[in-house]
Amino acid sequence: MIPLKRPLSHPSFIFNKSNSKSLRSLIKNTRSTNETFSSPIPIFYFKFSDSTMPIFAANSSSFSRVNTHFPDSVNQPTLTSKAQTFPQIRTFCVKRTNPNAELSASNDIPIVSTVSGPIQTSQPIDAGSSMRKPISLWPGMYHSPVTNALWEARSSMFEKSFAEKDSQTELVAKTPSMSRTSIAYKFSSDYILREQYKNPWDEMRMGKLLEDLDALAGTISYKHCRKDDGATRPILLVTASVDKMVLKKPIRVDFDLKISGAVTWVGRSSMEIQMEVTQSTPDSPDPSDSVALVANFTFVARDSKTGKSAPLNQILPETEHEKLLWKEAEERNKMRKQKRVAEKKDVDNRDEDRLNTLLAEGRVFCDMPALADRDSILIRDTRHENSLMCQPQQRNIHGRIFGGFLMRKASELAFSNAYAFAGAAPCFMEVDHVDFFKPVDVGNFLRFKSCVLYTELENPMKPLINVEVVAHVTRPELRCSEVSNKFYFTFTVRPEAMKEGLKIRNVVPATEEEARRVLERMDAERSQ
């Protein structure tokens, strides 16, 4: 049989209506039984207009009728050995990957596609045949192949902790190498995996990558807290903040990618985990040039019963590089504390002039719109938002919404906002420091509100678009709404678009509150 190369939706595929009545009659005669019946009637056929092309007819020579709606008995009959399936009629040039292939490093987690490849056999997919883990391990597994693999990696820790009644309370010192874990993405050979991570412009979906970074950081944090025998202390580890992430080079979706990370610093009840995204391409074969992104995640520990801060295993850096990372993390921790103190102070009087300068153009828009600068736009006119209900499938192992899921949704909204504002596909540049103020629970009504806060047009060929995304946790029953997260993304547009005459507009505030937000972001950028 020659495989067809057109989709089944093609108009040349014709359902055999003339024979469908006979087929229904044949089925009707067997409705009270579960026997196997045969039909010589073609269900559909395909004929090309060219007489030299083949004619294809799909026919089922044997069916097994199983009443799945109102069973006569508890035990249902299985398909007979004579039952046949429709032949495969689509062909794809896809190289199949071996999901069981082991990576060279013992701490590497292989990532494979979660959807069957196009050329795999047409065996039914058993949705319930996945690993039988404790119920708290099931949430979040649908997010991506990475979270699937990470939940599997965590399973041994939690099963051991559930099995033991008396978990260890004493603390030990651990080296960074003991928590180091990597994820390998075989994009070059896994077609289905590549499809899950590319956007409409055949580039990396950065939102999914941020989600994976948070998931891996969570696994590393638990790995640092478990005992030598594999048991895990009964504590909650949650993402407290994420430091600024700057994209050092474009990440391609057609080359293999690797994410690795380890605990680099530990306080009393908090820890910092540094993640690296590396990718070797023909443009950068040198391993020293392969680092595309560095991210620092801060996790805090809480007692699972009292909710108070819980002590953590201390870190014991061994190599000079590990000691350097510890020193840098210690400095960042001190800066974060100083920043929190500074944020409590009111805006200094000397900033009044800056506020008035920012508001001057906005007042023209509000009071004399006909005279306003046509190359500028008000912040409120760049707003976009979306809303969603927090479903049980999006929760983490503690029953709350997975932090990486929030980062991905915010990133995708920011991308859409920048796209609508610029009129061309934006390119991700960086995401600024992220604080997780309030936890998000299952059943919460979550609203993401975004706007273009300001633009930087000093470089005409590389304008910067700064997008703010604020996540609000809304509880209609309590008539309250609280800010859960604030995200700040920076995008640019391709030089080719600027050469074609694309012009990015200036963004101005219309209220004092908007002007203060702009000043805070500008000062935060300068201080980093």
More confident residue, 423 or 12: 423
Count, in order, helices (H) and strands (E) of the chain: 9, 22
Give the H or E element holding residue 296: strand 291-303
Model confidence band, residue 198 (pLDDT cutoffs 50, 70, 90): very high
- Predicted TM-score (pTM) of the model is 0.70
Residue closest to 325 by CA, chosen among 436, 227, 180, 171: 180
DSSP character string of 347-413: PPGGGHHHHHHHHHHHHHHHH-GGGS-TTEEEGGGG-EEEEEE--GGGB-TTSBB-HHHHHHHHHHH
Percent share of the chain, pLDDT over 90? 38
- How is residue 440 written in tokens? 């998000």
Quick check: helix, strand or coil at residue 330? helix
Which residue(s) pair with 204 in the sheet? Answer: 198
Separation CA 478–CA 390 (nearest Å): 17
Which CATH number is 351-526 given? 3.10.129.10
Residue 414 sits at φ, ψ, to 5 deg, of -60, -40
pLDDT reported for residue 491: 97
- For residue 278, which amino acid is it? T
Give the Cα-Cα-Cα angle 438, 443, 445 (nearest 5 degrees).
65
Mean pLDDT score, 115-143: 38
Of 196, 199, 197, 195, the residue nearest 419 (C-alpha): 199
Take residue 339 and report the two structure tokens written for it. 């920043």
**pLDDT tens sequence across 42-68:** 444 444 444 444 333 333 333 333 333
When pLDDT is averaged across residues 290-299 and rounded to a whole number, the result is 94
Q: What pLDDT does 322 receive?
A: 94
Listed range (78-82, 377-381, 426-430, 523-527) with the worst mean pLDDT:
78-82
> In this structure, are residues 403 and 466 in contact, taking their beta carbons and an 8 Å threshold?
no
Which among 165, 168, 170, 209 is positioned nearest to 187, based on CA atoms?
A: 209
Can you tell me the distance from the alpha carbon of 413 to that of 206, in angstroms, rounded to the nearest whole number? 12
Q: Does 262 score more than 70 pLDDT? A: yes
Q: How far apart are CA 112 and CA 104, in angstroms?
A: 16
Mean pLDDT to the nearest integer, 88-102: 39
Both tokens of residue 494?
């391709």
CATH 3.10.129.10 assigned to 145-154+172-318? yes
Report the alpha-carbon distance of residue 12 to residue 522 in Å, rounded.
Answer: 60
- 351-526 shares the fold of 145-154+172-318: yes
Q: Nearest 5 degrees, angle CA 179-CA 180-CA 185?
A: 135
Which range in 294-308, 328-342, 408-422 is most confidently predicted, on average pLDDT? 408-422
Q: Which residue has the tokens 């056999």?
A: 121
Pairing mode of beta strands 55-58, 434-436: unpaired
Query: How many other CB atoms are found less than 10 A from the CB of residue 335?
Result: 13
326-380 pLDDT, tens digit per residue, is 999 999 888 887 776 666 554 455 577 888 888 888 889 988 988 888 899 999 9
8 Å CB contact between 452 and 421: yes
Give yes or no for a contact between 347 and 516, defined as CB atoms under 8 angstroms apart.
yes
CA 1, chain centre distance (Å): 42
Question: What DSSP line would sit under 241-289, residue for residue?
Answer: EE--EE--SPPPSSS-EEEEEEEEEE-SSEEEEEEEEE--BTTB-SGGG
Percent of the chain with pLDDT over 70: 64
From the CB of residue 294, how many other CB atoms can be counted at a distance below 10 Å? 17
CA distance 140 to 207: 16
Q: What is the helix (H) or strand (E) element at residue 56, kind and residue range?
A: strand 55-58
Q: Which of 89, 37, 97, 274 is nearest to 179 (CA)?
A: 274
Q: Which of 78-87, 114-123, 157-166 has the highest mean pLDDT?
A: 157-166
Q: Give the pLDDT band (50/70/90) at residue 407.
A: very high
DSSP 425-492: -EEEEEE--EEE-S--BTT-EEEEEEEEEEEE-SSTTS-EEEEEEEEEEEEGGGTEEEEEEEEEEEEE
As a whole number, mean pLDDT of residues 143-150 equals 62
Q: How confident is the model at residue 462 (pLDDT cuts 50, 70, 90)?
A: very high
3-class DSSP assignment, residue 5: coil
Pairing of strands 434-436, 235-242: antiparallel
Among residues 111, 133, 147, the alpha carbon closest in space to that of 394 is found at 147
Residue ranges per structural domain of the chain: 145-154+172-318, 351-526
- Say how far apart CA 1 and CA 61 lie, in whole Å: 17
- Is the pLDDT confidence value at 305 over 60? yes
Place of tokens 């980093």: 528
How much is the pLDDT for 247? 93
